[in-house]
Each structure stands twice: as C-alpha cells, then as structure tokens.
Amino acid sequence: MATFSTNDFKSGLKIIQDGDPCSIVENEFVKPGKGQAFSRVKIRNLKTGRVVDKTFKSGESVEAADVMETDMQYLYNDGEFWHFMEPNTFEQHAADATAVGDSSKWLKEEDICVVTLWNNTPLLVAPPNFVELKIAETDPGVRGDTAQGGVKPATLETGAVVRVPLFVEEGEMIKVDTRSAEYVSRVKD
Amino acid sequence: MNELSRLIHQRASLADEIRAFFNEIDVIEVTTALLSQAAVTDPGIESFTVTVSEKEVRYLRTSPEFSLKRLLGAGTPDVFELGPVFRNGERGSLHNPEFTLLEWYRQGVVMQGLIDEVVTLIQRIRDGKFSQFRVHQHRYYALFDSVTGCNVRGYCAAELKRLAVDLTQPPNIDMDTDQWLDFLFSTLIQPSFDSDTIHVVTHYPASQAALAKIDPDAPDTALRFEVFVGAVELANGFEELNNAAEQAERFARDNVLRDVRGQKQMPVDRRFIQTLDQLPACSGVALGFDRLLMLADDLPSISKALLVGWFEA
C-alpha cells in the first residue's frame, strides 16, 4: 500500500479517507514555536464532491489514492454505461451513471473529456469546457418579444436545456460553456 | 524599485530599528556559533545534523539560547543576537526551515518587565504602526477557559481528546497531554485572537516550561510567555531557570519523551548546564524577525519576507 506522509501534502495530492478517494485542496502547516506540528487540510471527496476540514499530526501517514486524470474520447452510450477511449493506447473504459453524473447532458460522441480514474475505473467524467451542440427543439423566436429578457429555452441534441437568444433557431449549432451552462455563440458551418 | 530591491531595504531598515532600540537600552549585539556539538532536546524542535568528519557530527542551532546564557553566566552585560537559526521540517506560510531570530536577555528583570519591553519594541517599529493596537494579557489556562468554556487545568490526554472531538475535527490518533494542548491551542485558541491586538499569554503548563522557572505561586505553571500579533505567534520568552540540576532533569525527560514519541534522542549540552548555576537572575526572549517584517510591512507569507525562499535556496 503506497502512503504519503504529511510532509508530502500539497494541493492536488490524492489520498484515501474513510475508504473514499480524495484530493487535497489546501494544506496549512501549523505549529507552536515549541510544540507539536499539525497539518490542517481541506479535502475534497472525489466521489461526493464534498469538502471537509481535517487535521493531521505532522509525520502521520495516509494511504495514497491511485487516482489519475486522463483525456479520453467519448465513444457511445449503451444504455447503461458510457464508453471512453484513451486516444494513445486505444484502451477503453466504461463509466457508470454515478461517475458521469450531470456531465451526461453535455456528452457528444468523439468529444475529448477528462476522465478521472481510480484504480483504473472511471470515477468522474468532466466534459470539455466548451461544446458545440445542435439545437433539437426551440420555439421560433419573435423579434421584439422581450418578455423573457430576450432569451428562450432550447433543448440540445444531448438533452441539455440552455437559454439562447431569440434569433437562434432549431437545427442550428451553438457553442455552450459547460461550466455555467451558458450559451456562448452560434457556430458557423 | 522592483520587489527584491524593496525587500532588501525593508529587511535592512527593520534591523536598523531593532539595533537602535537595543543601543538605547544598552544591550550589546553579539554573534555566536551556529554549529554545536550538542543540540536542543525539546521534542517539538528538530535540529539539522551536519557531518564534520566520519567521526563527528554537529547540529545547526535552533536558537542562540544556550550560547547567550553561557555568556551571561560568564559575567557579560546584557546581550542580543540577530541571526540565522534552523529548524528541520518546519515549512508553511508562517514557517521556513531557516529563518532569522532576534533573541535578547535582561539581567535583574522579571517576566513582566521583559513582556513590557517586547511590547514596547513591537509598538515602536515602523513609526508606531502597532502603537494603537490593544494589548491583552492572559494566563494560559484562563485563556483556554474563556475560549472553550472549559477549565482544562489538570486534564489528562483522554479528557483533552474528548474536548477536541466535541469542539473540532481532531486527528484520529492518540497523543499525550501536551500534544493535545498544542492541538487545541493551534486550532481553536490562536485563531480566536482578534487582529489589531497584541496578545500576551503567560503561565504555560509546567510540562511546557522548557527553560523557564516554575512559578512558585502556581507550581503547575511556568514563568513562560508568548507574544502574538493578531493570530501570529511572534515571540517566546522565559524568566530563566538558573538551576543546573533542574535543567538537566528536564533535558533528560525530553529525551525520554523523544524516545516514547519515536524521535531520536539528542546529545545534551553539558557546557550549557554547567554554567546555569552561575546564570544571574534574568529574563530572555526570542522573536521571529521575518514574521515581524511580514506583519510590519503587510507581507502575505513568510516566503515574501525572505530574500531567498526554501525552494530557491
């Protein structure tokens, strides 16, 4: 079992806490001039996303988490799993609904996603920051209709719903920021 | 002026202000040895070891305390030293393994007299930047009581652990009484200190007396004090123990504790202990120069107060 000492602590380090893989967000060394040293850390649970505060005595060791972030191409969804491929090795990984979570609504075949692997199994899937998707359904925009602030809802080919300007029409490709679920622009062919 | 040139001036001018202060009160600057055959035994402080030859190692000093007290024991006037010290493993936004320490000794001065002098120095620097800060002085156990609502005087390790679990998220391990007190102090007491205030804490538990006299009026506490500016620990001082036998016993106890905690035992400084019976009644204090600079000039971390950081050295 690989371990880290508190001396190795830095942000981004992946460790196991209560059986779950976690990432150190922040590490603060505290020590009275004459006295015991401690590491006060903020830890993000990579399964739940929750951030908790923890304190370790200096020199304590914690189990290392075999966690890796890898760029992978999204291939397809078989109804139960989302399949990804490492572009260099062609190795394929199947991610379940827990790992994909809300990202599923942005996944378009062939897009490159960041897949976090824990013990070589997908733990988290992050979509690209920007995706280009086709509008599957939206009401025809009426010029001058500003009751909704000049925007209207549009359902994209992947099922995501974003607010778009009135002039955007069904069948058009748009660029969306997946972090805020906001419309960025129309994509010209 | 670029950042580095500004920092050179800041460090030099703060050192000038400190030297002017000691010149005024007739305390003489000295420079003592960095490499010693003996080392500090305090389990909370780790020395760096330096190889001299196949047969000899020396230890980089963690403070000039032993050397300065040996000077006083040999009959010198009051002295101060402003110079480098080294503490292995201490690295963070307020810690660097090598840093500059200001340490001074005053003969015939009791603990309160030296506390007042430390506060005067802090309030005087940088045209009185801290002169409007309130000064709050508390005794260690009373301070615990006011912050945690709990009188921890006489608590054993298990009771302190229970308190820690009730109040915060402590490490899930067993530690001894002093380690639990340090945990609670660092994570609850110290963060509760208001900024814009100089906090003085006195009468540390006797088990943390280090090189201080035990208070004859409260023998479970020591005549040891610390000074904090806001939540930042800045200085540690003692009304100095000048009893060789008692000090030797404490060092021996330190080494036993080191053994129990799985740390290496350290060679005791016999020369220092031998001169302790000649040490005149005095108080002494060590103050972190780089932290004082951080606070005085609003630098965000100790690395910004150093010309060369740990990773650049």
Write out pLDDT tens, residues B218-250: 999 999 999 999 999 999 999 999 999 999 999
- CA A134 vs CA A80, A151, A176, A184: distances in Å: 24, 17, 10, 13
Interface residue ranges in chain A relative to chain B, Cβ cutoff 8 Å: 7, 28-38, 40, 52-58, 60
Coil, helix or strand at residue B301: coil
Is the residue at B75 inside a domain?
yes
Work out the pLDDT band at A142, boundaries 50, 70, 90.
Answer: low
DSSP string, A70-135: EEEEEEEE-SS-EEEE-TTT--EEEE-HHHHGGGGGG--TT-EEEEEEETTEEEEEE--SEEEEEE
Mark yes or no for CB contact B178/A29 under 8 Å: no
Which tokens hold the place of B56? Answer: 């000899």
The pLDDT of residue A148 is above 90: no
- Does residue B173 belong to any structural domain of this protein? no
Among A28, A33, A60, select the one facing B171 at the smallest CB separation.
A60
Predicted local confidence at residue A189, as pLDDT: 65
In whole numbers, what is the pLDDT of chain B averaged over residues? Answer: 97
- Average pLDDT of the segment spanning A149-160: 90
| Prediction pTM value | 0.84
Q: Which residues in B lie closer than 8 A to residue A28 (C-beta atoms)?
A: 92-93
Task: Spell out which residues of chain B touch residue A31, defining contact as CB-CB under 8 Å.
Answer: 44, 90, 92, 95, 182, 186
In a domain, B312, yes or no: no
| Span A21-50, average pLDDT | 93
User: How many domains in chain B?
Assistant: 1
Residue A143 has pLDDT above 70, yes or no: no
- In a domain, residue B280? The reply is yes
Residue B75: predicted pLDDT = 97
Distance separating alpha carbons of residues B44 and A163, to the nearest angstrom: 59
Give domain status of residue B162, yes or no.
no
Tell me the chain A residues in contact with residue B185 when contact means C-beta distances shorter than 8 Å: 32, 35
Domain annotation covers residue B180: no
B118: pLDDT strictly greater than 60: yes
Query: CATH code at B101?
Result: 3.30.930.10
Cβ contact (<8 Å) for A7 and B182?
A: no
Q: Do B226 and A60 touch (CB under 8 A)?
A: no
Under a CB-based contact definition with an 8 Å cutoff, are residues A46 and A67 in contact? yes
Q: What residue numbers bound the domain in which B215 lies?
A: 3-133+196-305
pLDDT at B162 over 70: yes
Q: Does B42 touch chain A (CB under 8 A)?
A: yes
pLDDT at A48: 85
Beta-carbon pairs below 8 A across chains A and B: 78
CB contact (8 A) between residue B171 and residue A55: yes
Round to whole Å and give the CA distance between B118 and B122: 6
pLDDT, residue A145, reads 57
- Looking at residue B193, its pLDDT comes to 97
What's residue B169's pLDDT? 87
- 0.85 surpassed by complex ipTM: yes
Lowest-pLDDT choice from A40-49, A148-157, B39-48, B59-68: A148-157
